Amino acid sequence: MAGKTAITISRQFCCGGAKIGHVVAARLGYRYADREVLQLAADRLGLPVEEISWREERLASFWEKITSLFTYGLPDVSYTAPPFQTVTDQRLFNLQAKIIRELAAREDCVIVGRGGAHVLRDHPRAVHVFLHAPDSFRVERAMEAYGAPTREKALAMIRESDRARQAYLGRMAGQNWTLSTRYHLCLDTGVVGPERAAEIIELVVRARQAPRTS
């Protein structure tokens, strides 16, 4: 594992984490892994990815599900409860953690979400990044990307997402995912923007890779 670099990006909802992750991966020529990790886990479990994706990080909250449909119109069907758990949350988390460690051992990669900073906390060449932004910035993104009809509903969606993520990672990994000391770099994407954030991450990665002189 010592020869490969792994960048983990933990992020608040609607901070541009996926976009920034893609840009960083492209700039450095690294493999980008986000939902691919979930797909690989589903393949190993012999289950359709849809059967386990509704539980990933508990971010498919009520508000997120509903407001994401405003762009396309509400369906003429009633809400259906998630399927019976054929795989426990802990088993799914542990399997995704195993896949993340395997990816990080094989090749340089950018891991977005999925408790990557916790999973790769002992990786000798990891760079752990936390992205956050003010509520005002996140509300605008939620309305634009998910079609939330009002600022109040967008804010409610953000609050529920943060609560759900904290509950999930606290239970699975025993960590406070917003604690700055867990990361090498914390960026306010509402201030620096996605492109500049990607540039800064690249600079930190290259600095960490550079040989140290006495």
Residue 55 forms part of a structural domain: yes
- Give the per-residue pLDDT at 72: 38
- Residue 44 above 90 pLDDT? yes
CA atoms within 13 A on the CB side of 133: 24
Q: Give the whole-angstrom CA distance, residue 130 versus residue 148.
A: 25
Residue 19 forms part of a structural domain: yes
φ, ψ at 106 (rounded to 5°) = -90, -40
pLDDT tier at 61, thresholds 50, 70, 90 = very low
The stretch 38-63 carries a mean pLDDT of 73
Q: Which of 55, 130, 128, 59 is nearest to 95 (CA)?
A: 55
Residue 70 forms part of a structural domain: yes
Residue 132 forms part of a structural domain: yes
Count of structural domains, the chain: 1
Residue 52 forms part of a structural domain: yes
Burial degree of 106 (CB within 10 A; 0-12, 13-18, 19+) = exposed
Cα-Cα-Cα-Cα dihedral sign, residues 140, 143, 144, 145: positive
User: For the segment 79-121, what is each residue's pLDDT rounded down to a tens digit?
Assistant: 344 444 567 888 889 999 999 999 999 999 999 999 999 999 9
- Give the per-residue pLDDT at 175: 78
User: For the segment 142-194, what is each residue's pLDDT rounded down to a tens digit?
Assistant: 999 888 899 999 999 999 999 988 888 888 888 788 889 999 999 999 999 99
Q: Which of 158, 206, 193 is nearest to 20 (CA)?
A: 193
Runs of H (alpha helix) within 107-150: 116-119, 135-146
Residue 113 forms part of a structural domain: no
Q: Supply the CATH number for residue 41's domain.
A: 3.40.50.300
Angle at the Cα of 178 from the Cα atoms of 128 and 120, rounded to 5 degrees: 30
Range of the domain at 102: 6-108+126-209
Residue 61 forms part of a structural domain: yes
pLDDT tier at 78, thresholds 50, 70, 90 = very low
- Give the per-residue pLDDT at 76: 42
Residue 76 forms part of a structural domain: yes
